[in-house]
């Protein structure tokens, strides 16, 4: 995948993320937040860039083929990229692109089974509703 397509995927994700969010029912207590956390946990990973120094960022799996949105902490230098799963497995990754305005980057894990985050729906949202956003 070339850099132009990668940035297109990243921008599409940003639009989806900003328009659909991840709507959650208003929590009655800590248990509903715990349930929401359990729901998104498999889609949240650690991203590392290494070149003698180690830089660490959080990433969110957006596609089952290993596409992961992360922060600009990881950037396109001569670095090796790795994704660490919630179970602790380390997988090589490839840097695909970065959006300089939002400071988000896109990496693709080279192997593994990935659970993409489920985007919420805004159909039933009203002003004042509580939401949870994972970006």
d(CA 23, CA 2): 32
Query: Which residue in 1, 6, 102, 105 sits closest to 49, CA to CA?
Result: 105
- Least confident among 8-12, 17-21, 93-97: 17-21
CATH of the domain at 128: 2.40.10.10
Task: State pLDDT tens for residues 50-94.
Answer: 888 888 888 999 999 999 999 876 665 678 999 999 889 999 999
Domain region containing 7: 3-132
| CA-to-CA separations, 54 to 33, 51, 107, in angstroms, rounded | 32, 7, 16
d(CA 26, CA 17): 19
pTM: 0.72
The number of folded domains in the chain is 1
């Amino acid at each position: 995948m070339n850099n132009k397509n990668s940035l297109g995927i990243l921008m599409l994700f940003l639009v989806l993320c900003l328009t659909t969010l991840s709507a959650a029912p208003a929590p009655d207590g800590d248990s509903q937040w715990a349930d929401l956390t359990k729901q998104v946990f498999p889609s949240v990973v650690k991203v590392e860039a290494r070149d003698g120094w180690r830089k660490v960022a959080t990433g969110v799996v957006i596609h089952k083929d290993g596409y992961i949105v992360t922060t600009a902490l990881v950037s396109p230098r001569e670095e090796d990229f790795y994704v660490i799963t919630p179970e602790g497995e380390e997988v090589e990754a490839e840097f695909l692109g970065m959006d300089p305005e939002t400071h988000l980057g896109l990496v693709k894990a080279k192997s593994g089974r990935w659970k993409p985050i489920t985007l919420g729906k805004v159909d039933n949202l009203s002003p004042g509703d509580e939401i949870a956003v994972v970006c």
